[in-house]
Amino acid sequence: MAYFDVDMACREGFGDRKLVAMIQQRISSLDEDLDQGEQEFLVSYAYQDLRYYLLYKFGLFNLDNNDASYELCRRIIRNEDSVVRLVDEWFNWWVIKWRQRVRLVFNESEQKDSETGESQSVEDLIKKIPKRLLDKLRRETMIELMRQNEVCSLDIVSDFIVRSALNDLVNEYSKDGALRVLVTDMTEVRMRILRKIMEISGTNKPLVILKVKINSPQPYQGMS
């Protein structure tokens, strides 16, 4: 029986390749007329969402990126049947949310009609927030989104929700006041984020804009 070096396989990206293959298999089985480029884009788009979902399910979300990838790879190798069941569970929801949450636009006017304003003060505020705290808020937001079965476009949607909550704080307290709230009352910040997640989960509207450019492999991404 040949020896399989789990550590080496994980260091060489076996886990990532396995996840990509699982997504490719499921997307190619969809009853939709997708050309090769469209399939490749969906695989690439879905990959990070699946990775977040599995890290959440396996309790690995708080590890740093390298450790999380390694531990996830070990689970893929040692318990592939369990991972396949989770991937099936995720993909069923992901397809529903892709169709529900993602809107494709093909010209500038459609994009502008869908954009929402955000004050410069929010950008200034974000620059003053420690990256570790901002990353923690986004990570907590992703986890809560997944609890609500929002499993598509997690990077974009979580960033939008955090920014939207910070924008509300700036509008209510000013930039300096919002900074004080972030230092003294994180519970209020988290409650604002949670309310926005509940608002999203209670609607069927598209949240993410993909501006499709002819012959472009990577559409523009933005929030509706």
| pLDDT at residue 197, as a whole number | 96
| pLDDT at residue 214, as a whole number | 47
| pLDDT at residue 38, as a whole number | 85
Residues 6+ apart with CB under 8 A from 95: 30
Q: Count how many residues are written for the chain.
A: 224
| pLDDT at residue 55, as a whole number | 97
| pLDDT at residue 115, as a whole number | 53
Burial classification of residue 77, based on how many CB atoms lie within 10 Å of its CB (0-12 exposed, 13-18 middle, 19 or more buried): middle
Q: Which is nearest to 19 in space by CA: 212, 98, 58?
A: 58
| pLDDT at residue 211, as a whole number | 78
> Could you read off the pLDDT tens digit of each residue along the chain, which spans 224 residues?
456 788 999 999 999 999 999 999 999 998 777 888 889 999 999 999 999 999 999 999 989 989 999 999 999 999 999 999 999 999 999 999 999 999 877 665 544 444 555 667 889 999 999 999 999 999 999 999 999 999 999 999 999 999 999 999 999 999 999 999 999 999 999 999 999 999 999 888 888 988 766 454 454 455 55
DSSP string across the chain: -----HHHHHHTTHHHHHHHHHHHHHHHTSSS---HHHHHHHHHHHHHHHHHHHHHHTT-TTS-HHHHHHHHHHHHHH-HHHHHHHHHHHHHHHHHHHHHHEEEE-SHHHHHHH-----HHHHHHHHHS-HHHHHHHHHHHHHHHHHTT--SSHHHHHHHHHHHHHHHHHHHHHHHHHHHHHHH-HHHHHHHHHHHHHHHHT--S--EEEE--TT-SS-EEEE-
Cα separation, 208 vs 221, in Å, equals 7
Cα separation, 90 vs 211, in Å, equals 25
| pLDDT at residue 113, as a whole number | 47
